[in-house]
Protein backbone atom coordinates (compact mmCIF):
# COMPACT_ATOMS: atom_id res chain seq x y z
CA UNK A 1 0.00 0.00 0.00
CA UNK A 2 1.40 3.42 -0.95
CA UNK A 3 1.46 6.37 1.42
CA UNK A 4 -1.45 8.82 1.21
CA UNK A 5 -0.85 11.75 -1.16
CA UNK A 6 -2.01 14.28 1.43
CA UNK A 7 -0.37 13.68 4.82
CA UNK A 8 -2.39 14.02 8.00
CA UNK A 9 -1.27 17.38 9.30
CA UNK A 10 -2.78 17.50 12.81
CA UNK A 11 -2.28 14.52 15.10
CA UNK A 12 -3.59 13.81 18.60
CA UNK A 13 -1.61 11.35 20.73
CA UNK A 14 -2.77 10.09 24.12
CA UNK A 15 -0.25 9.00 26.73
CA UNK A 16 2.23 11.42 25.17
CA UNK A 17 4.26 12.25 28.28
CA UNK A 18 6.51 9.18 28.14
CA UNK A 19 7.44 6.02 26.27
CA UNK A 20 6.16 5.41 22.77
CA UNK A 21 3.73 8.33 22.93
CA UNK A 22 6.55 10.77 23.59
CA UNK A 23 8.74 9.09 20.99
CA UNK A 24 6.06 9.25 18.32
CA UNK A 25 5.44 12.92 19.13
CA UNK A 26 9.11 13.66 18.46
CA UNK A 27 9.05 11.74 15.19
CA UNK A 28 5.86 13.41 13.92
CA UNK A 29 7.21 16.82 14.90
CA UNK A 30 10.31 16.13 12.78
CA UNK A 31 7.94 15.51 9.86
CA UNK A 32 6.38 18.93 10.38
CA UNK A 33 3.09 17.76 11.84
CA UNK A 34 0.99 19.81 14.26
CA UNK A 35 0.42 17.96 17.53
CA UNK A 36 -2.28 17.71 20.21
CA UNK A 37 -0.69 15.93 23.15
CA UNK A 38 -2.41 14.72 26.31
CA UNK A 39 -1.45 12.71 29.39
CA UNK A 40 -1.79 12.84 33.16
CA UNK A 41 1.65 14.36 33.78
CA UNK A 42 1.35 17.92 32.54
CA UNK A 43 4.85 18.90 33.68
CA UNK A 44 6.28 16.39 31.24
CA UNK A 45 3.95 17.59 28.50
CA UNK A 46 5.03 21.18 29.04
CA UNK A 47 8.71 20.18 28.85
CA UNK A 48 8.04 18.16 25.69
CA UNK A 49 6.16 21.06 24.11
CA UNK A 50 9.09 23.41 24.76
CA UNK A 51 11.55 20.94 23.26
CA UNK A 52 9.45 20.34 20.16
CA UNK A 53 8.82 24.02 19.45
CA UNK A 54 12.50 24.83 19.93
CA UNK A 55 13.55 22.08 17.52
CA UNK A 56 10.71 22.65 15.04
CA UNK A 57 9.48 26.27 15.29
CA UNK A 58 7.16 25.92 12.30
CA UNK A 59 4.74 23.50 13.99
CA UNK A 60 1.93 23.97 16.51
CA UNK A 61 1.85 21.94 19.73
CA UNK A 62 -1.18 21.99 22.03
CA UNK A 63 -1.22 20.15 25.36
CA UNK A 64 -3.97 19.22 27.81
CA UNK A 65 -4.11 17.04 30.93
CA UNK A 66 -6.06 13.83 30.51
CA UNK A 67 -6.65 10.72 32.57
CA UNK A 68 -8.13 8.39 29.94
CA UNK A 69 -10.07 6.47 32.60
CA UNK A 70 -12.18 9.63 33.04
CA UNK A 71 -14.38 8.84 30.08
CA UNK A 72 -16.28 12.13 30.02
CA UNK A 73 -12.95 13.95 30.01
CA UNK A 74 -11.83 11.94 26.98
CA UNK A 75 -14.73 13.28 24.92
CA UNK A 76 -14.29 16.80 26.27
CA UNK A 77 -10.55 16.81 25.59
CA UNK A 78 -10.81 15.41 22.07
CA UNK A 79 -13.49 17.93 21.13
CA UNK A 80 -11.51 20.79 22.72
CA UNK A 81 -8.39 19.83 20.76
CA UNK A 82 -10.44 19.52 17.59
CA UNK A 83 -11.77 23.05 18.04
CA UNK A 84 -8.42 24.52 19.09
CA UNK A 85 -6.45 22.95 16.23
CA UNK A 86 -9.05 23.56 13.54
CA UNK A 87 -9.73 19.85 13.13
CA UNK A 88 -7.90 16.63 13.97
CA UNK A 89 -6.72 14.52 11.04
CA UNK A 90 -5.29 11.56 12.94
CA UNK A 91 -5.80 10.25 16.47
CA UNK A 92 -3.39 7.76 18.05
CA UNK A 93 -4.90 5.73 20.90
CA UNK A 94 -1.69 5.00 22.75
CA UNK A 95 -2.24 5.46 26.51
CA UNK A 96 -1.88 2.23 28.45
CA UNK A 97 -0.34 0.47 31.43
CA UNK A 98 1.30 -2.90 31.98
CA UNK A 99 0.93 -3.62 35.68
CA UNK A 100 -1.00 -6.90 35.51
CA UNK A 101 -0.53 -9.77 37.98
CA UNK A 102 -1.16 -13.52 37.96
CA UNK A 103 -4.87 -14.32 38.00
CA UNK A 104 -6.24 -15.58 41.30
CA UNK A 105 -3.36 -14.40 43.47
CA UNK A 106 -5.16 -11.58 45.28
CA UNK A 107 -4.32 -8.76 42.87
CA UNK A 108 -7.69 -8.08 41.27
CA UNK A 109 -7.28 -4.32 41.74
CA UNK A 110 -4.13 -4.22 39.59
CA UNK A 111 -5.71 -6.38 36.88
CA UNK A 112 -8.88 -4.29 36.92
CA UNK A 113 -6.84 -1.11 36.49
CA UNK A 114 -5.07 -2.67 33.51
CA UNK A 115 -8.37 -3.70 31.93
CA UNK A 116 -9.97 -0.33 32.54
CA UNK A 117 -7.03 1.63 31.13
CA UNK A 118 -6.04 -0.57 28.22
CA UNK A 119 -9.49 -1.52 26.96
CA UNK A 120 -12.40 0.43 28.46
CA UNK A 121 -10.54 3.74 28.27
CA UNK A 122 -9.38 2.85 24.76
CA UNK A 123 -13.01 2.25 23.81
CA UNK A 124 -13.85 5.76 25.02
CA UNK A 125 -11.00 7.17 22.94
CA UNK A 126 -12.14 5.27 19.84
CA UNK A 127 -15.72 6.45 20.35
CA UNK A 128 -14.63 10.08 20.67
CA UNK A 129 -12.27 9.85 17.69
CA UNK A 130 -14.70 8.16 15.31
CA UNK A 131 -17.44 10.56 16.34
CA UNK A 132 -15.25 13.44 15.15
CA UNK A 133 -14.25 11.63 11.96
CA UNK A 134 -17.83 10.67 11.10
CA UNK A 135 -18.86 14.32 11.38
CA UNK A 136 -16.55 15.24 8.47
CA UNK A 137 -16.30 11.82 6.77
CA UNK A 138 -12.50 11.64 6.98
CA UNK A 139 -9.73 10.90 9.44
CA UNK A 140 -7.24 8.25 10.52
CA UNK A 141 -7.65 6.29 13.77
CA UNK A 142 -4.56 4.44 15.02
CA UNK A 143 -4.71 2.01 17.94
CA UNK A 144 -1.58 0.64 19.61
CA UNK A 145 -2.18 -3.03 20.39
CA UNK A 146 0.67 -5.51 20.98
CA UNK A 147 2.12 -8.76 19.71
CA UNK A 148 0.83 -10.18 23.00
CA UNK A 149 -2.67 -9.83 21.54
CA UNK A 150 -2.10 -12.88 19.35
CA UNK A 151 -2.34 -15.45 22.18
CA UNK A 152 -3.51 -15.73 25.75
CA UNK A 153 -0.40 -15.42 27.89
CA UNK A 154 0.36 -16.64 31.43
CA UNK A 155 1.64 -14.98 34.61
CA UNK A 156 1.62 -11.18 34.82
CA UNK A 157 0.75 -10.85 31.12
CA UNK A 158 -2.66 -12.56 31.21
CA UNK A 159 -4.81 -9.46 31.66
CA UNK A 160 -2.51 -7.26 29.57
CA UNK A 161 -2.62 -9.65 26.61
CA UNK A 162 -6.40 -9.97 26.90
CA UNK A 163 -6.86 -6.20 26.81
CA UNK A 164 -4.63 -5.87 23.75
CA UNK A 165 -6.52 -8.68 22.01
CA UNK A 166 -9.78 -6.92 22.80
CA UNK A 167 -8.41 -3.65 21.48
CA UNK A 168 -7.32 -5.29 18.23
CA UNK A 169 -10.78 -6.84 17.79
CA UNK A 170 -12.40 -3.48 18.54
CA UNK A 171 -10.29 -1.77 15.89
CA UNK A 172 -11.07 -4.48 13.34
CA UNK A 173 -14.79 -4.10 14.03
CA UNK A 174 -14.57 -0.33 13.53
CA UNK A 175 -12.64 -0.93 10.30
CA UNK A 176 -15.36 -3.29 9.08
CA UNK A 177 -17.99 -0.66 9.89
CA UNK A 178 -16.15 2.04 7.95
CA UNK A 179 -14.74 0.05 5.02
CA UNK A 180 -16.64 2.03 2.40
CA UNK A 181 -15.78 5.43 3.82
CA UNK A 182 -12.66 7.64 3.61
CA UNK A 183 -12.01 7.02 7.33
CA UNK A 184 -8.96 4.82 7.83
CA UNK A 185 -8.24 2.49 10.77
CA UNK A 186 -4.77 1.16 11.61
CA UNK A 187 -3.92 -1.42 14.28
CA UNK A 188 -0.29 -1.55 15.37
CA UNK A 189 1.22 -4.71 16.84
CA UNK A 190 4.55 -3.68 18.39
CA UNK A 191 7.00 -6.29 19.57
CA UNK A 192 9.32 -5.59 22.48
CA UNK A 193 10.43 -1.94 22.52
CA UNK A 194 12.39 -0.57 25.48
CA UNK A 195 10.27 2.02 27.37
CA UNK A 196 9.52 2.96 30.97
CA UNK A 197 6.66 0.46 30.83
CA UNK A 198 8.98 -2.54 30.64
CA UNK A 199 12.10 -1.11 32.31
CA UNK A 200 12.13 -3.83 34.98
CA UNK A 201 11.65 -6.77 32.63
CA UNK A 202 14.45 -9.35 32.58
CA UNK A 203 13.73 -11.04 29.24
CA UNK A 204 12.66 -9.05 26.17
CA UNK A 205 13.35 -11.16 23.07
CA UNK A 206 14.25 -9.19 19.93
CA UNK A 207 13.83 -5.91 21.86
CA UNK A 208 14.79 -2.66 20.14
CA UNK A 209 15.57 0.78 21.54
CA UNK A 210 12.71 3.16 22.24
CA UNK A 211 13.77 5.79 19.70
CA UNK A 212 14.13 3.15 16.98
CA UNK A 213 10.73 1.69 17.86
CA UNK A 214 9.05 5.11 17.79
CA UNK A 215 10.55 5.86 14.40
CA UNK A 216 9.36 2.55 12.97
CA UNK A 217 5.88 3.04 14.43
CA UNK A 218 5.55 6.45 12.80
CA UNK A 219 6.86 5.08 9.51
CA UNK A 220 4.16 2.39 9.66
CA UNK A 221 1.42 4.87 10.61
CA UNK A 222 2.31 7.12 7.69
CA UNK A 223 1.48 4.27 5.30
CA UNK A 224 -2.00 3.96 6.85
CA UNK A 225 -2.16 0.14 6.61
CA UNK A 226 -4.97 -1.87 8.16
CA UNK A 227 -2.42 -3.61 10.41
CA UNK A 228 1.32 -3.44 10.97
CA UNK A 229 3.76 -5.50 13.01
CA UNK A 230 6.60 -3.33 14.32
CA UNK A 231 9.39 -3.98 13.64
CA UNK A 232 8.50 -6.08 10.60
CA UNK A 233 11.37 -8.45 11.34
CA UNK A 234 10.89 -10.72 13.14
CA UNK A 235 7.32 -10.05 14.30
CA UNK A 236 5.44 -10.11 10.98
CA UNK A 237 6.94 -13.52 10.29
CA UNK A 238 6.45 -14.80 13.81
CA UNK A 239 2.77 -13.79 14.00
CA UNK A 240 1.38 -16.81 12.10
CA UNK A 241 3.74 -19.11 14.01
CA UNK A 242 2.60 -17.75 17.37
CA UNK A 243 -1.01 -18.44 16.46
CA UNK A 244 -0.21 -22.10 15.78
CA UNK A 245 2.04 -22.84 18.76
CA UNK A 246 0.78 -25.46 21.22
CA UNK A 247 -0.39 -23.90 24.47
CA UNK A 248 2.35 -25.76 26.34
CA UNK A 249 4.92 -23.70 24.41
CA UNK A 250 2.94 -20.47 24.71
CA UNK A 251 3.02 -20.97 28.50
CA UNK A 252 6.80 -20.55 28.41
CA UNK A 253 6.72 -17.19 26.63
CA UNK A 254 6.08 -14.94 29.63
Q: Which residues contact 34 (CB under 8 A, 6 or more apart)?
A: 9, 10, 11, 59, 60, 61, 85
Can you count the helices (H) and strands (E) in the chain?
A: 9, 7
Catalytic residue among 160, 189, 192, 235: 160
DSSP category for residue 156? G
Beta strands in 123-223 (DSSP E): 139-144, 183-190
Q: How far is it, in rounded angstroms, from Cα 64 to Cα 252? A: 41
- To the query of whether residue 192 is one of the catalytic residues in this protein, the response is no
Q: Alpha-carbon dihedral of residues 165, 167, 168, 169, nearest 10 degrees?
A: 90
Q: Where in the sequence numbering do the catalytic residues fall?
A: 160
Amino acid sequence: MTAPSTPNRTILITGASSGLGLGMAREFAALGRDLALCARRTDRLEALRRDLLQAHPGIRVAIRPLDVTDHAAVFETFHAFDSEMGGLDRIVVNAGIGSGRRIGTGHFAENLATAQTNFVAALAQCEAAVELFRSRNKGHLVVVSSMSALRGLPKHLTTYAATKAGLAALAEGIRAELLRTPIRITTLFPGYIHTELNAGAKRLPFAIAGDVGSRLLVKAIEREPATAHVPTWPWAYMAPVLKLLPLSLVARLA
